[in-house]
Structure 1
Amino acid sequence: MVKIAPYGTWTSPIGAADAAAAGGGLHWVDLHRGRVWWAEGRPAQDGRVALVRDGQDLLPPPWNVRNRVHEYGGRPWVVLDTPDGERVAFTNWDDQRVYLFDPDDPDPVPISPEPDRRHGIRYADLTAGPAGEVWCVRETVTGDARTDVRRDLVALPVDGSAPRVLAASHHFMTGPRLSPDGTHVAWIGWNHPDMPWDGTELCVAEVGSDTHRVLAGGPREAVCQVEWEGRELLALTDPDGWWNLFRISLDGAKKNLAPCPEELGGPMWRLGNRWFAALDQGRYLVLRSGALAVLDERSGTVTDVEVDLPVWQAHLAVHGGVVVSGAAGPREEATVVTLDLSTGELTRLTEHPASLPPADYLPVPRERVFTGPEGQDVPAYVYPPTNPGFAGPDDERPPYVVHVHGGPTGRSVAALDVDIAYFTSRGIGVVSVNYGGSTGYGRAFRERLREQWGVVDVNDCAAVAQALADEGTADGARLGIRGGSAGGWTSAASMTSVKTYRCGMVAFPILDLRGWTGDGGETHDFESRYVEGLVGAWPETADRYAERSPSNRVDRLNGPVLLLQGLEDEICPPEQADRFVAALDGTGIPHAYLTFEGEQHGFRKAESIVAALEAELSFYGQVFGFVPAGVPVLELRT
């Protein structure tokens, strides 16, 4: 029997611990000699990342297969064929060194030098080079400032002897690839102030040469993946505004294999993603805005693969017509799968947590397109309150929270997020907005945010929230906004510039744009000039930086805020949140500030995830006027 109860008070079998159990995530799925490998987050083990082969853990705690390159990390392991047999090289979080071990008798030994300072040398994007070498990106800390970093592409001999430099062409580099005949090496590079989705260069050089040529890319073209095909290169790049697959010869001739207004690539937030993989002559597996598809060069077409999991991770690997990757759906979190393309048989290699509730407690998002303030399309996913045991009173509309994805060069997808289900199963609706600047819709949509961060994102999210209220889907007096990282920026910027929301949850945020410049010194090197494209040239537009920063607008705050912050965060360090809260204290505006020891950018430990979610639910209850069941009361201060 369905019980009628106020929204927000519904009881739910989805606890914060269930969200924590689902919060580890899958990383870097791959194949080697027909066996499936992947990395997997373990919230219950202090958030470490485990290495798994065919479902079996290979390294016990405290080994943590993760690295700090660009602070977001990159591909942290590779399987090698050596004269002594199969070996695995991996990066370990604790010291950031590269280790080697026999997967059948694990006893890792370091093969990279010990740095002079903790985490002073880091490695990522590990790939197999010539016999006896691991090719990768090396990041070296050169001083005490967060931007004092140098990068090289290096070869690490597996015997632990001295590394050799392959290339040092740009401030940022990734993807070293040796041609099949061993004569050329290709890679991708870019420099400040560009981000890798703004402009990169595809470089090629003869092995042993100190000079290279640029075959593709530039200030307004971003190559995001490159692989060899014989003596030619295959590259995902966007000279026409969409990431398409090109064949590029060594003399620079280019051919788009299937011209289409579709995104077949994505932003290089982490190094080592694979958005395409070769199937057979003239056919390639690709991701069309995250959905699995086959590109046929002969017909020039891109055709979706019929499969019940619509969201695929950029870890594509293929062997004998069988694709391996991570995939997810509206009621299924990311799982490692194999798909036989000849039969359509899909096999799941990882299981969901046993505690995951029945499917009827999990919201199925409705993909909608709203109209923004200037008439533009704003895509979003609407997650209505969903609980088979409860319904709201006829005269009440549910509270809704706008979820803002990070990046801001990122996107929301239609995959199960147990954090969202935690709220919707209690009667709180959620809408996840792909505001201007999001990926998956081409360069023009992405560049709507150029110099407009804190304006376009704020206005697009507010337009969606207001539309839900105007149509009667949401209670217009009980709208909130939540986000982490760049989403935390938009949440804070919204709370200090529009009147749409009653409250905001702000996690590990950017709050002071001045501090996020290279001069400001409060962020890491990779993103230290990101804001120049998002806000404007620095320091020429310093007034714009000051005007938009929530840290300078505390007096305009429109309602209560909850701030969450990891104390070891090098991307959005706690200094900015500390200052914001200090300015809030004594204003009379209800707020709370929770900090988490041992957490970096985003929370990995189960206890942190639980505490954060329960605090957020209590926060909404106090602001929206309901008493949620079964969570501690969050103390708000003024």
Structure 2
Amino acid sequence: MDCHSLATLPRVVTISPYGTWASPISSAEAAAVASGPQWAGLHPDSSGSGEHLWWAEGQPTEGGRVALFRRFSGEAPVRLLSAPWNVRNRVHEYGGRPYVVLDDSRVVFTNWDDQRVYLLEIGSEPVALTPEPETRHGLRFGDLVAPPGGTEVWCVREEITGPGPTDVRRSLVAIGLDGSLRELCASHRFMTAPQSSPDGAHVAWIGWNHPDMPWDATELCVAPVGPDGSVGEHRVLAGGPGEAVCQVEWADNRSVYAVTDPDGWWNLFRIDLDGTARNLAPIEDELGGPLWKLGARWFAPLGDGRHAVLRGGTLAVLDENAGTVTDLDVPSLSWSSPLAASGSVVVGIASGSTSHGAVYRVDLKNGECDQVTVPPAGLDDPAWLPVPEARVFTGPDGERIPAYVYPPTNPDFAAPEGELPPYVVHVHGGPTGRISGTLDNEFTYFTSRGIGVVAVNYGGSTGYGRAFRERLREQWGVVDVQDCAAVATALAEEGTADPDRLAIRGGSAGGWTTAASLTSVKVYRCGAAYYPILDLLGWASGETHDFESRYLDSIVGKLPDTERRYLDRSPSTRVDQLAGPILMLQGLEDEICPPVQCERFASQLAGTGVEHAHLTFEGEQHGFRKAETVAVSLEAELSFYGQVLGFVPVGVPTLELSR
């Protein structure tokens, strides 16, 4: 028998209970793609013959640092900064755009370790442009942009003014390439970097104040620039209560393009300096998103009245002359911010149902869509990759609940006849975030072992308009919990999932919903909470960073009037109602959801008889970045589910549970 005949032999399928399937996808392989490319950008070549593509990319196997990459037209990508350089910053703790390209050979970037701004001339060592702060990370810079002139960089600066997490002052500053620094303005508590008009006579930026979050209400500001570079008094062109501007770019010297939502949907407007505004293509769809990270871009002007836009993750072209938004005929991918464009070329980051996030280059002239980066090998065999099914469920209040179902998928195994699989409900963070239904390395780790995953876009998620987003107003811990429970229950009732083996997992706000669910509904047997919020009152009273320190005003209620609500909904006050075991995983350098919340909860659980585990990780902030952390967490989570849901997973150490 020749090799060809062997290759065509039918695959031998082993019958084994769900959760016990052997998988070629190891925790190490899943961890290797824990952080993909980000902050893709495009810079025209000075010769006019092509363009440079730039992007940052997480390096999980190098301690989670972020590296900077560049690719010339037609050449292979080059990594410009080796360890220990780490192209990140702490502005708002979530960070802002960490680099800006000046020309073919110069780029300015922020470095995580000292939070300083550096100038890199290709071929030389980086040179610091900002001073060493008196206290560690006492000065932070982010959302870097390059105004006309090429002699300075504009950005947001954070100054730590005291010991408390809200002791922060922000301003817009100009950093000279000679190391000089001048303040431009400080209009709001929170601001995006200023954008210069083509003639340099005006600057525009977005600002907002507590208690608003940038998806609740922001203001689009414009101010004149004096001959000496000073910024004058600003005027508000758009935004205010109930309207959130999330991106601004100059159209010409007398008008700007802005994504804003006065009608409940983030659409693209052209706004003149006298305040006259026109929606360029009215559409009941989102062309913008939440400003979790400063520097996000959901549209990029192409010229001639056309713009590359993101419509709910789909790459499209908005034609302001025709008033239309047309999806591009490119491979089926889900695109994410930021977009960049130059001429007919669009660059962005996209992923698919069976493909990880990568940088893509689209040429609108010929329709070519080229993948620029290649994710690490190990998760590229489609036989083991679940194809998510987009579903819409109905909540208890009659509202629709979008979700993506990732079924157990392994070509080498099948479950015994009649057995239903365990399912894990995945809750995204934010809570003002969303799931896009693309390949997820953590989901695949579980589905390839016989555990289904359903990812829920509960009320409060973005991508469905302001009304859907505001379902969570004063209802956090209620609507999110009910929507996730409704999806889990529906899967059980239709025979997709085993009703006795349902679990829930999530990180940050998703960790909150995990714990809140376990202490308020009887749907799940257990849950895994990554860096969660567990005590609302503590979190709102000085235990989180400035950016979100007033977030709960809108999604829970204003203190002190609603203090009883804070107490009643917090898992920390409902430990005796815990429906089942809980696994908590926490980074010890987390400034957003601090370790003290898990520590207190674990102390409350001690001696109660409820099984639990509390894992902590040195050197991790909010969201795990190190490959070894991600791998240990996945193995612990799998062992946890096995012990509680009644199966013995293959090849992972047994997680010790406390009582």
2:503 matched residue in structure 1: 480
- Give the Cα separation in 2 of the matches to 1:211 and 1:7: 65
Match of 1:112 among 103, 106, 130: 130
Alignment of 1:560 with 2:581, yes or no, is yes
Opposite residue 53 of structure 2, the aligned amino acid is V
Point out the more displaced range, 85-94 or 48-57: 85-94
Opposite residue 421 of structure 1, the aligned amino acid is T
Partner of 1:338, secondary structure, is strand
Match of 2:114 among 95, 117, 120: 95
2:205 matched residue in structure 1: 187
Report the TM-score when normalising by structure 2.
0.95
Partner of 1:135, secondary structure, is strand
2:439 matched residue in structure 1: 416
Q: Pairwise mapping of residues 76-475 of structure 1 onto structure 2 (< 5 A)?
A: 76-81=98-103, 86-103=105-122, 105-131=123-149, 132-161=151-180, 163-207=181-225, 208-231=230-253, 232-475=255-498
| Structure 1 residue 508 displacement after superposition | 0.2
| Cα pair 1:509 1:572 within 8 Å, conserved | yes
Opposite residue 123 of structure 1, the aligned amino acid is F
2:4 matched residue in structure 1: none
Alignment of 1:16 with 2:27, yes or no, is yes
- Give the Cα separation in 1 of the matches to 2:231 and 2:107: 29
Point out the more displaced range, 207-216 or 37-46: 207-216
- Give the Cα separation in 1 of the matches to 2:332 and 2:221: 36
| Structure 1 residue 435 displacement after superposition | 0.2
2:533 matched residue in structure 1: 510
- Give the Cα separation in 2 of the matches to 1:10 and 1:343: 45
| Cα pair 1:59 1:106 within 8 Å, conserved | no
| Cα pair 2:421 2:452 within 8 Å, conserved | yes
Match of 1:588 among 588, 596, 609: 609
1:533 matched residue in structure 2: 554
**CA offsets, 1:292-330, max 9 Å, x none?**
011111221111112224211212111231111111101
Opposite residue 545 of structure 2, the aligned amino acid is H
| Cα pair 1:13 1:357 within 8 Å, conserved | no
| Cα pair 2:501 2:525 within 8 Å, conserved | yes
**CA offsets, 1:110-161, max 9 Å, x none?**
1012111000000000010232110000000000001100000000001102
| Cα pair 1:370 1:380 within 8 Å, conserved | yes
Alignment of 1:615 with 2:598, yes or no, is no
Partner of 1:96, secondary structure, is coil
- Give the Cα separation in 2 of the matches to 1:592 and 1:564: 8
| Cα pair 2:257 2:271 within 8 Å, conserved | yes
Partner of 2:144, secondary structure, is strand
| Cα pair 1:65 1:77 within 8 Å, conserved | yes
- Give the Cα separation in 2 of the matches to 1:402 and 1:497: 16
**CA offsets, 1:169-188, max 9 Å, x none?**
00000031010011001000
Point out the more displaced range, 390-399 or 38-47: 390-399
Match of 2:65 among 38, 41, 48: 48
Opposite residue 537 of structure 1, the aligned amino acid is K
| Structure 1 residue 89 displacement after superposition | 0.7
- Give the Cα separation in 2 of the matches to 1:471 and 1:313: 33
| Cα pair 1:151 1:168 within 8 Å, conserved | yes
| Cα pair 1:453 1:534 within 8 Å, conserved | yes
| Cα pair 1:516 1:531 within 8 Å, conserved | no
- Give the Cα separation in 2 of the matches to 1:156 and 1:149: 20
Runs of 4+ in 1 over 6 A off after TM superposition: none
| Cα pair 2:20 2:449 within 8 Å, conserved | yes
Equivalent pairs, count:
631
| Cα pair 2:355 2:380 within 8 Å, conserved | no
2:47 matched residue in structure 1: none
1:58 matched residue in structure 2: 80
**CA offsets, 1:31-76, max 9 Å, x none?**
1121100000001000000000111111110000000000000100
Opposite residue 26 of structure 2, the aligned amino acid is G
Partner of 1:313, secondary structure, is strand
Partner of 1:510, secondary structure, is coil
| Structure 1 residue 80 displacement after superposition | 1.1
| Cα pair 2:303 2:343 within 8 Å, conserved | no
- Give the Cα separation in 2 of the matches to 1:310 and 1:336: 12
Opposite residue 52 of structure 1, the aligned amino acid is F
- Give the Cα separation in 1 of the matches to 2:37 and 2:357: 7
Partner of 2:348, secondary structure, is strand
| Structure 1 residue 209 displacement after superposition | 4.1
| Cα pair 2:386 2:408 within 8 Å, conserved | yes
| Structure 1 residue 280 displacement after superposition | 2.2
Match of 1:605 among 615, 618, 626: 626
| Cα pair 2:148 2:198 within 8 Å, conserved | no
- Give the Cα separation in 1 of the matches to 2:207 and 2:163: 25
1:546 matched residue in structure 2: 567
Opposite residue 212 of structure 1, the aligned amino acid is H
- Give the Cα separation in 2 of the matches to 1:608 and 1:181: 49
| Structure 1 residue 358 displacement after superposition | 1.1
| Structure 1 residue 352 displacement after superposition | 2.3
Match of 1:500 among 498, 523, 527: 523
- Give the Cα separation in 2 of the matches to 1:114 and 1:354: 40
Percent of matched pairs sharing the same residue: 67
| Cα pair 1:129 1:155 within 8 Å, conserved | no
Report the TM-score when normalising by structure 1.
0.98
Point out the more displaced range, 116-125 or 278-287: 278-287
| Cα pair 1:505 1:562 within 8 Å, conserved | yes
- Give the Cα separation in 2 of the matches to 1:377 and 1:300: 29
- Give the Cα separation in 1 of the matches to 2:501 and 2:139: 48
1:32 matched residue in structure 2: 43
**CA offsets, 1:400-446, max 9 Å, x none?**
00000000000001211010000000000000000000000000000
| Structure 1 residue 357 displacement after superposition | 4.3
